[in-house]
Amino acid sequence: MIVSMNKVKLFFMEESLDTVLSELQMHGIFMLDEKHKKQLSPSEDLIKTSKAIEILESYLKKRSIGNNEIVSKNEFNVVDSETKALVDLIVEKKQLYQETQELLSDYEKKYKALKPYEALEVNQGRFKTLTYTTVYLGKVLKEKLDTLTGLLQSLDCYIDMISEDDTFKYVSIVSLKEYQSQLDDLLEKGSFIKETNESFNQKNSLIIKFYLEEINKHQIVLREIDQLLLDKTNDLGKLKLLHDQYYSNDMRKQVSLLNTDTTLYIEGWMRVDQIGYLRNILDKKHVAYELDTREPLADEVVPTALKNNKFVKPFEYITNQFSVPSYKELDPNPLMSFWYWIIFGIMMADIGYGAVMILLFGSLLLFGKLKGAMKDLVNIFFLTGFTALLAGLVFGSFFGATILTPLMDPINDPVPMLIASLVIGLFHIICALIMKIINMVRQGDILSAINDAVSWIFILVGIALYALTLFITLDSLLMSILTYTALGLIGMGVIIIVLLNGRHQKSIMGKLMSAFTGLYNSTAYLSDILSYSRILALALSSAVIAFTMNLLADMVWNSIPVLGVLLGILVYLVGHIFNFVMGLLSAYVHAGRLQYLEYYGKFFEGGGYLFEPLSLQLKYVYQVKLKEEK
């Protein structure tokens, strides 16, 4: 149901600011007007805590599903100083890790470059002090060393091989300085790659030893930091609590207050049934306040607050995906949820698939601690698992195999199932028209309710009764009564449309044209009812694919000894998993389509916006228990 709302002004003293905003946020019952909302950048504390969480989560092998923390109100209201210090430690250690990693990478790069010249007996620094000779260190591809040697024979050069690997030979080349220009040209032709290592005044072997010591030292630091951060993953829950505390605090800071000469105040919307609850909360906190409430004005756009039972509530997600109900209309969710539940289940229609839905999505609800839209969607799949199982009992199908005598067999005899689908469509549309009557009567437009809804209920029921006389055999008297009743209902509906559809037209011709236009809508209604044949189509496609997978698995099973059994099991599992997933997706989409177009298209206005009060921002914490601990 859509709950009545009041426009509210809450006045309080400045010293009560923190208490008032904290309590409003904790209980989530006051929706602020837009004029009270200002945009601020996330606080430094929140950014740093998010970074710390990201760092620790990178050390987890797997992440939990959903949000697992449940804390008391007292725990949530107190920021732990040790956890704040832990955030600083984690961020600092990660910074040190990155700096150490950069140094390690630099030392490893230098070590790798210098290692081939470890056997050089002369300090490279001495090469710069030579007066008459030039010394080059470098490498050349193994297959090109002979070519390079041949090119250098024309000069008075000396080539000494220092080391080699799978690809290169590392050499030193000594030449008189007077030949340096010619030497450079020949080295370029010989594909010689000059070494650019830093020239040290110590032997390369000593420098390499130093590099190895530094590499080992930095590796130890990295391992110690890794172990520390891995150990700190045990405190991830504390960090997540701190994150949500900072996040909620940031949201309170975004509240822009108005003021009188002596007080502060905020203005917004509240559910009528929660105003007394707010008074009780503020009284317990000994807050001096004044609460001014009034009914919404005729031209005000009021937020929509929905209050439904545990079965209906998840299906609000389906409606909100289409459009949020308007505050002034009737809540469509109680009836829609029932029809969606039935239609979705018939489209899946298998005992095995239904049982899997109940077990799989029931486990997610029980252990996953999901929230928001994900929880609603999983809940919908869990609930529709029961109707899928019941529909499977009607069809006698268990993972595509017939294990019970079917009451309906959509594969071998689809006509009864087609008729059942159309009957469901007829009742579904009649329910929509009844909703339309209620909405119009509430708005005081009774003639429109009679013309646009009552007339079509008469016509559709009349057509259904007349169709019934064509398929069943009754006593002649009963058949006559049924036939004349059907024709009478059709006639009454037609008369209502002819008399009322052109009531706003002044001319006779305008009234006649309006009457004709109204009667022409019968094609749209018949088309809508035929759309429900998709219930048969989805049930049939799922059953046929399941049957085909069983057939293929059986063929593979018996084709090859031992290996055929394994392949048959693989085909069976993959085939049914594919069919199950595609069936879920198809049923979700097409059951929704029937609600959005055929059902909501008859009466639903939408265009509302949800009641979204100031509340705790819980990204990681699953729930804050409002009952304070003593």
For range 280-292, the mean pLDDT: 92
Instruction: Over range 180-197, report the average pLDDT.
Output: 83
Cα-Cα-Cα-Cα dihedral sign, residues 242, 246, 247, 249 = positive
Tell me the two tokens of residue 288. Answer: 């001096």
Q: What mean pLDDT do residues 235-240 have? A: 90
Q: pLDDT, tens digit, for every residue of 444-476? A: 889 988 888 898 899 899 988 888 887 777 778
The more confidently predicted of residues 606 and 130 is: 606
Model confidence at 507, pLDDT cuts 50, 70, 90, reads low
Kindly write down the DSSP assignment for every residue of 223-241, as one continuous string.
HHHHHHHHHHGGGHHHHHH
Looking at residues 185-213, what average pLDDT do you find?
84
How many C-beta atoms surround the C-beta of residue 45 within 10 A?
Answer: 18
The tens digit of pLDDT for each residue in 539-578 reads: 998 888 888 888 888 888 777 777 888 888 888 899 999 9
The confidence score (pLDDT) of residue 294 equals 92
Range 122-202: architecture per CATH: 2-Layer Sandwich (3.30)
What is the pTM for the complete model shown?
A: 0.81
Q: What is the DSSP string of 502-543?
A: TTT--SHHHHHHHHHHHHHTHHHHHHHHHHTHHHHHHHHHHH
- What's the full length of the chain, in residues? 630
**Could you state, in order of their start, the residue ranges of all structural domains in the chain?**
122-202, 413-531
In this structure, are residues 25 and 281 in contact, taking their beta carbons and an 8 Å threshold? no
Query: What is the mean pLDDT of the segment spanning 135-164?
Result: 84
Confidence class for position 67, pLDDT limits 50, 70, 90: low
Mean pLDDT for 152-178 is 84
Which DSSP symbol is given to 400?
T
**Mean pLDDT confidence for 186-204:** 81
* pLDDT at residue 629 in the model: 45
Query: d(Cα 207, Cα 212) in Å, to the nearest integer?
Result: 9
Mean pLDDT of 352-360: 95
Q: What is the mean predicted confidence (pLDDT) over 259-272?
A: 91
As a whole number of angstroms, the distance between CA 387 and CA 398 comes to 14
Token output for 403: 């294990």
Give the pLDDT of residue 510.
67
| Mean pLDDT confidence for 404-408 | 86
**Which of the pair, 322 or 510, is modelled with greater confidence?**
322
User: Within 13 Å, how many C-alpha atoms sit on residue 504's CB side?
Assistant: 5
Q: What is the mean pLDDT of the chain?
A: 88
pLDDT digits (tens, 9 = 90+) for 472-490: 777 788 888 888 898 999 8
pLDDT at 630: 38
How does pLDDT run across 409-447, given as a tens digit for each residue?
888 888 889 999 999 999 999 999 999 999 889 888 899
CA distance 329 to 443: 9
**Better pLDDT: 224 or 445:** 224
What is the model's pLDDT at position 98? 95
Confidence of residue 152 (pLDDT cuts 50, 70, 90): confident
Q: Which residues of 153-188 are buried (b: 16+ CB within 10 A; e: fewer)?
A: eebebebeebeeeeebbbbbbebeeebeeebeebbe
* pLDDT at residue 85, rounded to an integer: 94
What pLDDT shows up at residue 97?
A: 95
